[in-house]
Amino acid sequence: MENKPLWTITGVLEWTKQYFANKGIENPRLDAEILLCAVLKCERINLYVRFDQPLEDEELALYRGYVARRANQEPLAYILGEKAFMKHSFKVTPAVLVPRPETELLVESVAKAAAGSGAAALLDIGTGSGAIIVSLLDLLPQALGTAVDISAAALQVAGENAAAIGVAERLTLLESDLFSKLPAGQSFDIIVSNPPYIPAADIAELAADVQKEPHGALDGGTDGLDFYKRIISGCSVWLKPDGLLAFEVGIHQAQEVCALCREAGLTATAVRNDYAAIERMVFATREGTYYANHLLEITS
Ligand code: GLN
């Protein structure tokens, strides 16, 4: 009779929870469950229903590989190859930032703004996985999107997400350092961006798994504000006079970003908080526009 220990679902989860906890993983039990579900192709509830089921050797081998990667601080989303955002699951690779829940609030606000104004032309700067623009086009069937990124590998992912979610025919993807490759003469009703905003010196202090994300998507220069300054200065050319600029910002940056917008003539500004009550989004437009008259609604 074979004498090797039988790894049941419960046994494996208990072991992994402890192992992850020792490695400093923030949600050890949850991550263990999510990875095991990926192996067993089931929902988390099934782990509880099938708690005493032993794992097959191939399942264990696959699971061990995932556990080793997570213990090495690889973000869960890279191991799974996907991340839920708004209504869909987005493909993610190490070439793109993992979409964050707070960024859904940015999408929600921009969608509300666009639906109210009838905005047709949207630009997403630094699109990464495409989570923002693809979600917006999904929510706004009349809208047309342009998404730029300096990373060809990111644009590849964004294109796949756009196709999977059925908005590819309304999205133009462009490999471009901010506005540099946009066709002259074009302008946008709404420019949205979640640019890199971490002050360069703070990158080394980020959680170990965040540091595995592309530094080009995180590093916002000395004060973290480099990209806001460059994007705001481009708005005189690329944002329609009655358009809206919508940013995600880093902690403690909202007021400074508002001030930069006002200096550039986008004098009607508003801030929206994230789930942790941190000032996380900045909206800016000229006085008298539809957006200026609806800032409260857009940001709540
Ligand atoms: N939200 C990311 C973080 O968790 C930063 C993303 C960015 O720089 N835009 O730190």
Q: How far is the CA of 218 from the centre of ligand 1 (A)?
A: 6
37: buried, middle or exposed (CB in 10 Å: 19+, 13-18, 0-12)?
A: middle
Atom of ligand 1 minimally distant from the CA of 220: 8
pLDDT of amino acid 296: 97
Hey, how many other C-beta atoms are within 10 angstroms of the C-beta on 22? 10
CA–CA separation, 238 vs 180, rounded Å? Answer: 11
CA-CA distances (angstroms) from residue 42 to 8, 18, 134? 15, 22, 27
CA–CA separation, 90 vs 110, rounded Å? Answer: 19
Domain ranges of the chain: 9-72, 87-298
Strands 239-248 and 268-273: unpaired
Cα angle, residue 48 at apex, residues 42 and 54 outer, rounded to 5°? 75
Q: How far is the CA of 196 from the centre of ligand 1 (A)?
A: 7
Q: How far is the CA of 61 from the centre of ligand 1 (A)?
A: 33
> Domain 87-298 sits in which CATH superfamily?
Vaccinia Virus protein VP39 (3.40.50.150)
List the residue whose alpha carbon is closest to atom 7 of ligand 1: 196
Atom of ligand 1 minimally distant from the CA of 97: 6
User: Rounded to the nearest 5°, which phi and psi values hold at 41?
Assistant: 50, 55
pLDDT of amino acid 3: 58
pLDDT of amino acid 57: 95
* Sign of the CA dihedral running 84, 211, 283, 92: negative
Atom of ligand 1 minimally distant from the CA of 197: 8
The structure tokens listed for 169 are 């025919």
92: buried, middle or exposed (CB in 10 Å: 19+, 13-18, 0-12)?
A: buried
pLDDT of amino acid 6: 84
pLDDT of amino acid 2: 55
Which residues' Cβ are closer than 6 Å to ligand 1? 97, 100, 194-198, 210, 218
Print pLDDT tens along the chain (300 aa). 555 678 999 999 999 999 999 999 999 999 999 999 999 999 999 999 999 999 999 999 999 999 999 999 999 999 999 999 999 999 999 999 999 999 999 999 999 999 999 999 999 999 999 999 999 999 999 999 999 999 999 999 999 999 999 999 999 999 999 999 999 999 999 999 999 999 999 999 999 999 999 999 999 999 999 999 999 999 999 999 999 999 999 999 999 999 999 999 999 999 999 999 999 999 999 999 999 999 999 999
The structure tokens listed for 259 are 């001030």
pLDDT of amino acid 4: 65
